[in-house]
Amino acid sequence: MTNDHTDRIKKRYNRVARVYDLLEAPMELMAQGRLREEVFSHVEGRVLEVGIGTGKNIDYYPEGVKVVGIDFSEKMLERAREKLHRIDVKIDLIEMDAQDMTFADNTFDTLVTTCVFCSVPDPIKGLKEINRVCKPEGKVIMLEHVRSKNLVLGKFMDLINPIPVRLWGANINRKTVENVREAGLKIVEVKDVATSLVKLIIAKPS
């Protein structure tokens, strides 16, 4: 069952689903499209996309992969379904909470997230679920924005963080690299891909 906090965040994403792509259009034009290409050059086998949202990544999947996409917002998934007709890759979309997945242990070869763990209410719990459902020889690929380590900018991000949280549920000051380690995943690589605020994280299950 979802708790009250999760329900609040879910409702916020349902509320903005219709205009979500428009809200993120400036970032997409500047860098996100290029970064998504890099992320999806690494995927293979049976893939789980955690937090597929409105389906921004579906155009980047290579041929031959089998994809399941989950999201806890039914309205975001409705937007994703509208895009499925334009690709050849088969993607199964399921309404599911990243913090409480119903998949068996060791199910997926690749798990991927793009700007998702700013929104998962309990990121450690969600990352532990990723660790659980990833095959022992599999990999986890994450493109995530994080809190700046710059003293002034980091404090500023903390100060304004309540604004995006209240508008649509995204935290801009998460320490996601540290959270990945705390959840028990083994980090293989961390690379700054759009200044130090956006990182490509590649990890293995424990």
Distance between CA atoms of 104 and 93, rounded to whole angstroms?
A: 17
**Alpha helices (H) along the chain:** 4-16, 20-27, 33-40, 74-81, 123-133, 151-160, 162-167, 176-182
Q: Which of 84, 75, 97 is nearest to 56 (CA)?
A: 84
Mean pLDDT by 10 residues, the chain (206 residues): 76 81 59 78 95 92 94 94 89 96 98 93 96 98 89 89 77 92 97 85 96
Record the pTM: 0.88
DSSP 9: H
- pLDDT of 36 reads 86
- pLDDT of 25 reads 56
